[in-house]
Structure 1
Amino acid sequence: MAGFVCTSSPELSSAIAFVQNAEGTACSPFDCWLILRGLKTLCIRQDRAEENARKVVAFLANHPIVREVYYASYCPPDASGKRLQDQRIHLSQARTGGAVLSFTTGSVRLSRKICDAVHLFKITVSFGSCNSLIEMPCVLSHASIPAEMRSLPEDLLRLSIGIEHYEDLIADLEQAFRAALPGGAPSQRKSP
């Protein structure tokens, strides 16, 4: 991870520089070079991931196994109230919905089976990779939070979409949906 702080205060700038030096929190030259190298293609990678995400959202929104799709710039045709207001606010601040989306199936068991059955998506908690990722937050990233304190559906699947070809991503989800349904193909993957 890396970041930056901007300030017009010479005193604050000196204090930050002192902490960076004293604590050793500054990036190494090699890490800085890797960041600089990655920044040169960030726009291309992000555009591809966002384009893929929109196509995956369109697929999910029309699939009978999917109950609800959550994506910042997507609103179901029958949406009203807060969901429409949230979308308007988002689109006033961003040009797209990004590359992270989630959906529900109505069944924790079904969601687990889908997660187990994907082949191209990797099961892990992360964002922004070139590779597409899948996870069930209630099982992985939010598992340490007591269920009664979580404000998300137990059957929620979260996808971080990468730069693979969108048709491959959709085909992987489609085969995972088929495998997760009764009579589907047996899974070759262990649960998250």
Structure 2
Amino acid sequence: MNIETKLAQAGNRQDPLTGAVSLPIHHATTFAHPAFGQSTGFDYTRTLNPTRKVLEETIADLENGKRGFAFASGMAAIACLVELFDPGDHLISTNDLYGGTYRLFEQILRRKGIETSYVDSTDLSQVKAAVQPNTKAIFIETPTNPTMKITDIAGCVSIAAEHGLLTIVDNTFMTPYFQRPLDLGADIVLHSGTKYLGGHNDVLCGLLAVKDEKLGERLFFLQNSIGAVLGPQDSWLMIRGMKTLALRMEKHQENAAKVAAWLATHPAVTTVYFPGLDGAPGKSVHDQQCTGAGGMLSFEVEHESMIEPILANLKMITFAESLGGVESLMTYPAKQTHFDIPKEVREAYGVTDRLLRFSVGIEHADDIIHDLAQALQAAKSEVAAK
């Protein structure tokens, strides 16, 4: 079955009692036992909830995995999966990493005795050289947030297999519509479901999918024990949002390609990061493991002094954190999403004070470009007047 059909049918035919096409929301926290020693399969909602179960089965199906898990946020999902590791363990991670993940690794995991080495994972020789006797996993984003660097997933899987490591891929930017890391050999795929999967900036969610049943059992134990699960209302919102993922991702991608091409010609823009541009670094690898370029891009402007007036003069595009919603959002990573990464570290990875991250929405592309044009012009004028 094609992914478009899987998405549109999510939650349908799940209520044989009424035949409801829209999945019912089961707000119950506890469920009656038919008799002593018997269960309907649902006992307590932290362990399993009928609405969340459908969402978890859906993400597993979309990623071609064995089991799926839904959490209260993307960071809750990552916090749960890193409980697979013990004090003294070592992880290898993409260096251009989402700031919240970096904060978790550096300020929480390191305090617990789990260390992380950060490498340019676009260079597989660096990944291989970082392996230590106590290394347990390779954790990658591809494309990275926010400079859109591309990592060869299958290449990392090969290194991991050679050393008995797990491969974990954050697939938030691409979604299973464009990229399925488990098919490339990864062990765990994760999503901030808050972003493209939910798609409407109205639900906080994290999702995991795994390809191995034994690993799934370990994560189920951790999910149930820690308890940071997604509630039934939010599970329903996620399923509803995911039904239109295919349509939205196609429009996000179409608009992002037009915006990236326009930005690449603008005299105030020095660099555009978008895997769909001809000549983009890593494009050949990206095209081999993805079916699209997605809706995320970043760009650098000539001077840091332009940042504030650009953001102040946006009229239709919203200056806000997060990404992946139908509305266009612009973020300043140096002061927002990546603020917890030391300046010298993030700048070495390309997250400079001149960089803006742009989640291109599904509005008309001409309106998006018009808003960018007038904001850039206003910024140039304000800077020149000073």
Partner Cα distance (1:56, 1:106) in 2: 18
Tell whether 2:319 aligns with 1:116: no
Q: Tell me: higher relative CO, structure 1 or 2? Use CA pairs within 8 A at least 6 residues apart.
A: 1
Residue number among 64, 83, 93 corresponding to 2:267 in the alignment: 64
Tell whether 2:250 aligns with 1:47: yes
1:38 aligned partner = 241
1:174 positional shift: 0.8
User: Contact 1:65/1:105 (CA < 8 Å) preserved in 2?
Assistant: yes
1:111 positional shift: 2.6
Show structure 1 runs of 5+ residues with no match: 187-192
Higher Rg of the two aligned structures: 2
- Output aligned runs, 1:9-158, within 5 Å: 9=213, 12-75=215-278, 79=279, 83-84=280-281, 86-150=282-346, 151-152=349-350, 153-158=352-357
RMSD: 2.2
Residue 4 to residue 154, structure 1, CA distance change in 2 (3 Å): closer
Residue 183 to residue 157, structure 1, CA distance change in 2 (3 Å): closer
User: Contact 1:102/1:158 (CA < 8 Å) preserved in 2?
Assistant: yes
1:147 positional shift: 1.8
Residue 8 to residue 143, structure 1, CA distance change in 2 (3 Å): closer
Partner Cα distance (2:227, 2:268) in 1: 50
Q: Which has the higher helix share?
A: 1
1:54 positional shift: 0.6
2:65 aligned partner = none
Residue 89 to residue 49, structure 1, CA distance change in 2 (3 Å): same
Partner Cα distance (1:52, 1:71) in 2: 12
2:365 aligned partner = 166
User: Contact 2:309/2:382 (CA < 8 Å) preserved in 1?
Assistant: no
Please give the TM-score of this superposition, normalised by the length of structure 1.
0.82
Partner Cα distance (1:43, 1:62) in 2: 30
Letter in 2 for 1:38: G
Please give the TM-score of this superposition, normalised by the length of structure 2.
0.43
User: Contact 1:69/1:102 (CA < 8 Å) preserved in 2?
Assistant: yes
Q: Which has the higher strand share?
A: 2
Three-state SS of the structure 2 residue aligned to 1:5 is strand
Partner Cα distance (1:4, 1:145) in 2: 25
* Identical columns (%): 34
Q: Deviations over 1:94-142 (max 9, x none)?
A: 1222111111112000133212211111112212111111122112222
